[in-house]
Amino acid sequence: MLRKRSRTPVWLALSWRVLLALGLIGIALAVHWFDREGLRDNVDGKVSLIDVVYFTMITVTTVGYGDIVPVTDRARLFDTFVVTPVRLFVWLIFLGTAYDFLFKRVWEKWRMRVLQRDLSGHVIVAGHGTSGAEAVMELKRRGKAADAIVVIDPHADALERAEGEGAVVLAGDATRNATLEAVQVARASALIVAAGRDDTSILIVLTARRLAPDLPISVVIRSEDNEALANQAGANTVINPASFAGLLLAGSTSGPHLADYMMDLAGLHGAVSLHERPVRPDEVGKPLSAITTGMGLRIYRNEQRYGFWQPEVHALQDGDRIIEVVPSDA
């Protein structure tokens, strides 16, 4: 079952309600005690502290039994305009608490079932370790709504962190068909696999590719020897963090600013970033250098890639996908 973290801790909500109820009752008790001359005990004629406590609790929780009654105008006005609203507030607090801790649980389970049934266009992140957590944060920076990100992880602490980021989470094994079917993998817009182990990540890719043949799948692979296996399993993009770090390190030896620019391209926190989009109708027939949305670097046509220096980019065609560099604020 999917779940999403509540914004208010359970203990805080319960404590706040208890303190509020006790505070309201305490106000009524204090006023009744200081104005006890306005009360009359029809049993023994004396109003003691126990009588005041009894009268306050009975009046706040019910309409009273008539054994102790207010007899002065001041006492009656206080019961009318203060104690009666306090009674209503206390009952609302009790009902609200019952809703939060009983009915709301039933409601949340039903809501999560509806969410689970209606999931579409979401991004699934299998594994919320270092790479998975950074992927979630980057998706949010790129404008993806937090509740459109579904995190799958078998570890409770990882799911708790993902819930804290606003993502929808599912405790389970992403290598199983039932787990991926529960998050509607066939209707997802993308799958990010960062399981932490290459064998587990490749198995997740195999399972997801069988359930969703056209789903874009990106996977993190630690060993270079397993990159080909991940591609054969059906991954569209295979990322090796060590290789990428090596590129940055090697690039930094050729110039002090190369690594900085590559980091700009990789994320949205820099001045520029990479952007992929389909060719627009008004761009068909024009060269890649003529696009106005950014600086064109490469096009993908019929599963083939062509750089800005190749003759194929001199006339864009319908169905081409453009890789361009754009300002981050664009």
Mean pLDDT of 206-235: 91
Tell the CATH topology of 10-118.
Answer: Helix Hairpins (1.10.287)
Q: Could you say which of 3.40.50.720, 3.30.70.1450, 3.30.420.10, 3.40.50.300 is the CATH number of the domain covering 271-327?
A: 3.30.70.1450
Note whether 10-118 and 123-239 share their fold. Answer: no
pTM of the model: 0.56
Q: Domain ranges for the chain, please list them.
A: 10-118, 123-239, 271-327
Confidence band of 253 (pLDDT split at 50, 70, 90): low
* Intra-chain end-to-end CA distance of the chain, in Å: 38
Band (pLDDT 50/70/90 cuts) for residue 207 is: very high
Tokens read off for 20:
């509020």
d(CA 217, CA 183): 15
Sequence-ordered list of residues with C-beta below 8 angstroms from that of 215, at least 6 positions apart, any chain:
185, 186, 188, 190, 191, 208, 209
Residue 219 pLDDT more than 80? Answer: yes
Long-range contacts of 25-33 (CB under 8 A, 24+ apart): 25/56, 25/57, 25/60, 25/86, 25/90, 27/82, 27/86, 28/56, 28/59, 28/60, 28/82, 28/83, 28/86, 29/53, 29/56, 31/78, 31/82, 32/56, 32/78
Query: Which of 25-29, 204-208, 256-260, 270-274 has the weakest average pLDDT?
Result: 256-260
- Whole-number pLDDT of residue 315: 93
pLDDT at 281: 92
Q: pLDDT grade, residue 68 (50/70/90)?
A: confident
Binned at pLDDT 50, 70 and 90, residue 212 comes out as very high
By CB atoms closer than 10 A (0-12, 13-18, 19+), residue 213 is exposed
Rounded Cα distance between 233 and 215, Å, is 13
Per-residue confidence (pLDDT) for residue 320, from 0 to 100: 93
pLDDT in tens, 171-188: 889 999 988 988 899 999
Separation between Cα atoms, residue 79 and residue 56, nearest integer Å: 10
Bridge partners (DSSP) of residue 126 are 152, 193
Residues 57 and 86: their CA atoms lie apart, in Å, by 11
123-239: CATH number: 3.40.50.720
Q: Answer whether 69's CB lies under 8 Å from 83's CB.
A: no
More confidently predicted of 48 and 248: 48
**Mean local confidence (pLDDT), 102-109:** 65
| Range in 46-50, 175-179, 269-273 with the lowest mean pLDDT | 269-273
Half-sphere exposure of 330 (CA within 13 A, CB side): 14
Work out the percent of the chain whose per-residue pLDDT is above 70. 83
State the DSSP code for 330.
-
Cα 81 to Cα 40, 51, 76, 98, distances in angstroms: 19, 21, 9, 26
Are β-strands 68-70 and 217-220 bridged in parallel, bridged antiparallel, or unpaired?
unpaired
CA angle 24–62–22, rounded 5-degree value? 20
Query: For 75, which DSSP code?
Result: H
